[in-house]
Amino acid sequence: MTLRKYLVLLSIVVFGSTGDSFLARGMRDVGTIDVHHLPDLLHALANPWVIFGIFSLLAFMSCYMTALSFADLTFVLPATSIGYVVMTFLGHFWLHEHVSPMRWAGVVLITAGVGVIAGGPSRTEHPPTHAASPESLQERQ
């Protein structure tokens, strides 16, 4: 794993969390949307917070796809779940929210999971199947 790859994983966490937060902030401005008036959702697209949120989530998606191009799904998903921990710390220290002992236990478990996955290989290497075929062995001889 190179520094660039760690930065891609970090970007997933940052853009995913900020995208969700921006969308939530924007939808608070827009207000409740009745299921019988779904076209009202289009008004939400004029809200700057919603626009920032959509761009953040597009950046999240491109970073997520980049990460999956060099690492396994079973590596990327646990590794980027550190975002839950970041959000809890932000909530506690920045927004002064109360975080119960149960939630701190959740933070410890997620951090342990990320620590366990980070110590292993990021990608399963599949040997090329043609390398062991009889034809290829004959070619080598």
Partner 1 sequence: MRSLYTWLCILSTVCAATAGDVLIAKAMRRIGDLGHYRRKHGSLQVIARVLSSGLLFGGIFFMAIAFFSNLVGLSWADLSLMGPASAALTFVTNAIAAKFFLHENVDRRRWFATIFVCCGVVLLTRS
Residues within the interface to partner 1 (CB under 8 A): 4, 35, 64-66, 68-70, 72-75, 77-78, 81, 84, 88, 100, 102-103, 105-114, 116-117, 119-121, 124, 126
Q: Least separation, in Å, of the C-beta of 51 and partner 1?
A: 19
| Cα separation, 94 vs 89, whole angstroms | 8
The CA dihedral of 45, 48, 54, 55, to the nearest 10 degrees, is 140
Q: The tokens of 18 are what?
A: 């900020």
Nearer to partner 1, 125 or 139 (CB): 125
Nearer to partner 1, 46 or 68 (CB): 68
| Cα separation, 29 vs 39, whole angstroms | 17
| Cα separation, 22 vs 68, whole angstroms | 25
| Cα separation, 107 vs 113, whole angstroms | 10
Nearer to partner 1, 42 or 102 (CB): 102
Nearer to partner 1, 18 or 81 (CB): 81
Q: Least separation, in Å, of the C-beta of 140 and partner 1?
A: 25
Q: Least separation, in Å, of the C-beta of 64 and partner 1?
A: 8
Q: Least separation, in Å, of the C-beta of 138 and partner 1?
A: 27
Q: What are φ and ψ of residue 125, in 5° steps?
A: -90, 120
